[in-house]
Structure 1
Amino acid sequence: MENGNLKEHLSGKRGGSVLNWSSRLKIAIETALGQHFEAKLADFGLSRSFLVGSKTHVSTNVAGTLGYLDPEYYRKHWLTEKSDVYSFGIVLLEIITGQPVIEQSRENSYIVEWAKSMLANGDIESIMDPNLHRDYDTGSSWKALELAMLCINPSSTERPNMTRVAHELNECLEIYNLSRRKSQETSSTNSMGHSITCISDTPSAR
């Protein structure tokens, strides 16, 4: 794309600032909405994308970027709406963690396995993109991460549809915005309290 791809914006390599948490959520929401809640994402494995007769799946040869393709394809050779959900889940993991999908230098080279191993420790800070510098709400980030893991469930029947994905991502953004407002209100209240204290400590004129 003319303005660079998602990876470049996540890392700040395009010369701008690194995407903050709310911007990442908005990108994920807009992508999930697509057209009629069907994600329209490029290069997720299909060499052709169309319905065959009355079938609801695509049965064709697949060629695309390694790591984004629904693992069920290797067993059934079918690509369905839930295959798109899996691919979207991988992108969501990238947005959350800032990690590449395949990284040979990691102990777990595939982002799915890496995320599962990190989740076993229950430490959200070790999973979130360090470029965010902890500027995110824990409740919002946990919810987004749980959603991503649900999208990449090995069983397609256990994955949510895109309508639910978009709805839950909106909730993640609402949680974050509410947290920011509360933080700003607390900061404002503390500042006012400090000012009042300073005034009351001022000796009266004689």
Structure 2
Amino acid sequence: MRVHHTNLTSLVGYCDDEINKGLVYEYMANGNLQAFLSDQSSGVLTWEGRLQIATEAAQGLEYLHYGCKPAMIHRDVKSTNILLNEKFKAKLSDFGLSRNFASGDVSHIVTCVAGTPGYLAPEYHQSNRLNEKSDVYSFGIVLLEIITGQPVYSRTNGERTHIIRWVELMLLQGDIYSIIDPMLERTFNVNSAWKAIEIAMACVSAEASKRPVMSNVVMELKKCLPAQLDLTNHSSYETELGSSIDVVSQNNSITMMCPSVR
């Protein structure tokens, strides 16, 4: 009830008829993000649309970490928990595993492991040590899904491969087109794509101390967006995105700092 942010699903009410209990959240017309990244999707999210969704989800998570008093750790950040409304605006959902976290007092909390396999930070999975950097790791996995269109686990040469390992193998080739979702048919800005990959790989660093905080993730993701999609035309972009979800388009290229990953 105390969580209110444009990129978090709003609680409408609850149902309690003794036998059936449930929470009622706002209706999100376009379902979850993962459905639009699967092979079964009838539409293709544009590169700009993907960056916008990633940024909005990151903003919701940033609010939980720094806007709530006390702070909250989501604990189950994944692509199925990022919902899209009729204009494809992204909102983080499902706070059933969330925990309060007084970040100024202790470096972590110890709790039983909960969440979804493939998205769990290694230190949390191995030692039950949880802090906001655990959410950052999970968000990094989601960002890799958004970038690559790959599931968290896939089959490579007959072996089950995690998406981080898959991306690492592709990075060794140095070919951006082997990493970015082929459904985009190369209609993306290369510098923007490299920057997004750098952000994602920083988020999924094995050591929590090397991961960025969510405020930095939001800031860096915004640098990936085309220059014309600044705050002044944000609302008009949402309308455009909502009407062109099944069209992959390439806007004018942007000037960005040369990425280090090659």
TMscore range, shorter length: 0.7 to 0.9
Cα deviation for residue 87 of structure 1 reads 0.4
Instruction: Give the number of the structure whose residues are more often helix, by fraction.
Output: 1
Structure 2 equivalent of residue 202 of structure 1: none
**After superposition, what is the alpha-carbon deviation per residue over 1:41-79, rounded to whole angstroms, capped at 9, x for unaligned?**
673498452338954533211222110000012343211
**Which residue does 1:19 correspond to in 2?**
45
TM-score by length of 1: 0.76
The CA distance in 2 between the partners of 1:102 and 1:82, in whole Å, is 22
TM-score (norm 2): 0.61
| Pick aligned residue for 1:94 from 145, 163, 166 | 145
Partner SS for 1:3: coil
Partner Cα distance (2:29, 2:181) in 1: 24
Indicate the SS of the match to 1:72.
helix
Q: Quick one: distance in 1 between partners of 2:227 and 2:177?
A: 18
Instruction: State, as a whole percentage, how many aligned pairs show the same letter.
Output: 45
- Cα contact 1:47–1:64 (8 A) shared by 2: yes
1:180 aligned to 228, 247, 251, which one?
A: 251
Query: How many equivalent pairs are there?
Result: 182
Higher gyration radius (CA): 1
Distance 1:125 1:36, change over 3 A: closer
Task: Look up the SS of the partner of 1:50 in the other structure.
Answer: strand
Quote the Cα distance in structure 1 between the aligned partners of 2:200 and 2:109. Answer: 24
Read off the aligned partner of 1:130 and give its amino acid letter. Answer: P
Give the AA of the match of 1:164.
N
CA change 1:4–1:48 in 2 (3 A) is closer
CA contact (8 A) 2:226 2:252 kept: no
Residues of 2 paired with 1:149 and 1:14: CA distance? 26
RMSD value, Cα = 3.0
Instruction: Give the structure with the larger strand fraction.
Output: 2
Q: Do structure 1's residue 43 and structure 2's residue 76 form an aligned pair? A: yes
Cα distance change, pair 133–42 in 1 and its aligned pair in 2 (3 A): farther
Change in CA separation of 1:175 and 1:144 when aligned onto 2, cut-off 3 Å: farther
Tell me, in whole angstroms, the C-alpha distance in 2 between the residues paired with 1:176 and 1:7: 27
